[in-house]
Amino acid sequence: MILCSNPRAQYQAHKHEIDTALQRVLDNGWYILGEEVKAFETEFAMYIGVAYGIGVGSGTEALHLALRTCDIGPGDEVITVSYTAVATVAAIQLAGATPVLVDIEPHFYTMDASKLKLVITPRTKAIIPVHLYGQPADLEPILSIARAYGLRVIEDCAQAHGAMYHGKRVGAWGDIACFSFYPTKNLGALGDGGMIVTNDPALARQARLLREYGWAERYVSHICGWNSRLDELQAAVLRVKLHYLDAKNVTRAQLAAVYDEALAGTGLGTPKRRPDATHAYHLYVVRSPKRDALQAFLKARNIDALIHYPVPVHLQRAYKGRLPGSNSLPETERAAREVLSLPMYPELGESDLQQVIAAVRAFQGESYD
């Protein structure tokens, strides 16, 4: 089976360094919020180009705590997209706020900034643009609108480690930003993990309080908080992998270029690149009106192509009919019917890559002759 993503291959590529880092933590005997986490917070913040990093338990918790850090809760509205991992919307609800949805741009799968003003109300407190699949959202118009209305911008960078927008990494643009280190990400742990980043010292201090019971000193809560902590083992693994992130992203871009050239002219929709931005290619997502048939064709040839995401959040049972903005998301719904993620990870071998390409071309020839 040719996998869509392969975290095991990520581990094997740097097995000795990762094993050494894990053993260092085990020998040290300090497993929660120790020196590894502190070092990784500093190193990752420097990589993104911000002053502060706060390690937390997952990407979802990063978003939840970022919202609470910005004093967003019950009675507040937060604008985001339905075309995203459900975690984006779930985090807003965890904070007690109301998600308000806008449609996506048809070519880039990210928030359509031209729709924002239509849904802003006196209750709106923040905007969460999602850098989906590794493609940066169009941040300049989003930030301009946010400033005009006094809104916070919380970047969801869960799929965009290392992506660039106008010469600066995503995560360094908004008031605060959130990353996931789920094992399949471009920078993946061996379990769950997340990070909040910001340039604002007050927001950084508040986030640190909220992630551990509101403790400013051990066992003494100064505010009400939660328990969401990045552990030492994951931080040690991530420190190793961070050194290779840019090189791995270059490899992803090279694989994407091979796909682009081989699939040109087949009638299949291939990923667009936003001008003056660098795609991180967390996923290589194609479009076809015969998506389900294409996926089945590939599966029969032992190729694991996945759908990210088959049901937009606003059409899922848990949320249907409950989210403002759900009635005007045509691009979101169209994308969900047509997208398919082809295998994409830096360790994908040439032989496997060519097998995927040959299978896709064979299907397109059958379907479009």
CA–centroid distance for 77 within its chain: 21
Assigned domain for 2 exists: no
Q: Which of 225, 242, 259 is the last residue of a domain?
A: 242
Asked if residue 56 and residue 181 are part of one domain, the reply reads yes
Asked if residue 259 and residue 171 are part of one domain, the reply reads no
DSSP one-letter string for 246-279:
HHHHHHHHHHHHHHHHHHTTSS-B-----TTEE-
pLDDT tens digits, residue range 171-208? Answer: 999 999 999 999 999 999 999 999 999 999 999 999 99
Asked if residue 32 and residue 52 are part of one domain, the reply reads yes
Q: Give the total number of structural domains in the chain.
A: 2
Assigned domain for 157 exists: yes
234 touches 189 (CB < 8 A): yes
Q: Which of 187, 217, 242 is the last residue of a domain?
A: 242
State the Cα–Cα distance between residues 207 and 214, nearest whole angstrom: 9
Give me the CATH number covering residue 45.
3.40.640.10
86 lies in which domain range?
7-102+109-242
State the Cα–Cα distance between residues 12 and 104, nearest whole angstrom: 37
Asked if residue 78 and residue 52 are part of one domain, the reply reads yes
Assigned domain for 1 exists: no
Residue 369: pLDDT band by 50, 70, 90 thresholds?
very low
HSE-up of 226 (CA within 13 Å, CB side)?
Answer: 18
What pTM did the predictor assign?
0.97
Measuring CA to CA, how many Å separate 343 from each of 308, 312, 347?
12, 22, 10
Element (H, E) at 233: helix 232-242
Assigned domain for 353 exists: yes
Give me the CATH number covering residue 258.
3.90.1150.10
pLDDT tens digits, residue range 96-150? Answer: 999 999 999 999 999 999 999 999 999 999 999 999 999 999 999 999 999 999 9
157 touches 136 (CB < 8 A): no
Asked if residue 207 and residue 301 are part of one domain, the reply reads no
pLDDT tens digits, residue range 250-302? Answer: 999 999 999 999 999 999 999 999 999 999 999 999 999 999 999 999 999 99
Asked if residue 193 and residue 291 are part of one domain, the reply reads no
